[in-house]
Structure 1
Amino acid sequence: MMMLPNVKAKYEEQHEMLIDSSHLLAKSFEYMKHADIDSLHAGLFMEFKNEEATGPGVIQEWFYPNPASKVDPVHLEYFGFTGKVSALALMHNIQVGIVFDHLLFLQLAGRRIALEDIRDADPLLYSNCKQIIEMVSEAVDQDDLGLTFVHEVEELGIRKTVDLCK
């Protein structure tokens, strides 16, 4: 990010997109096709049609495929295609101008990801996990920290809780 010009944490102007999640690829393509390049240098404000969520979480969801999405089954195929083309480029030593995260290469090498590996990729997650690990076990109170053995997933705007273990 330091190599990119004009990277800011906050933007005065924002490029706004209202995306119909049932036509995610088509609507995203239309916004990008008609977007002025300068407006894309601004911040992003993303909203999904008929959904209340806004903010950074929505932007992150737009950037990454949701495997639980059943609204438009073709969009997952496009992500799969993109992944396969990227993998072929790596295998054939072809530079395609994509910067991959260090963690991806560790996974491709078959290495198990450790906490120290995520320090640069997600400093906040790393810091929070490190603090919990370093706590005295008696001081770790489930009610105070809100720790549970569940994973929350969002499927078509509905949040579900899945037990990590019985």
Structure 2
Amino acid sequence: MKLSGASLVSILVAGLANAQGSASQFSVTGFSAGATPHSSVGHAGLSVSLDGKGETKCSASPQTYQKFPNVPKTPCADPATSFSLTRTADSGADLEIWREISPGVFAHGKRTIPESDIVLGNQKPNPNGAIESYVGPGSFTFPVEK
């Protein structure tokens, strides 16, 4: 049987759902992000897997001063996976992840980080180092968008 390109893509996308029919999801562990006290460099880091497979580490050190960092789309340790972190107008942020599941076919998901999970605070032991940083859960899952 010969498959058209559209048929092949449909089969691959359908393959993202597991045997029980539930949607595919990204699993994130060790998520942290924020500015670095008395520095013009921020940090963002996480480990991510798709449906519990192929965990890879992602990190970036974007320029920022005291503010929660924006990270443009950046490759992870496994270059088939990349991530971005974008501050939103409501003072929250969007974490986006892309994973190439076959040549030219990507799984993509976005998790919105609420404003309440990004706080301005002093870092111990130096009370003069007020910076914005993420204080929400370090581990979470979110669905692949269809």
Q: Bin the TM-score by the shorter chain.
A: under 0.3
TM-score, with length taken from structure 1: 0.20
- Give me the TM-score of the superposition, normalised by structure 2: 0.22
Larger relative contact order (Cα-Cα within 8 Å, sequence gap ≥ 6): 2
Larger gyration radius, structure 1 or structure 2: 1
Q: By percentage of residues, which structure has more strand?
A: 2
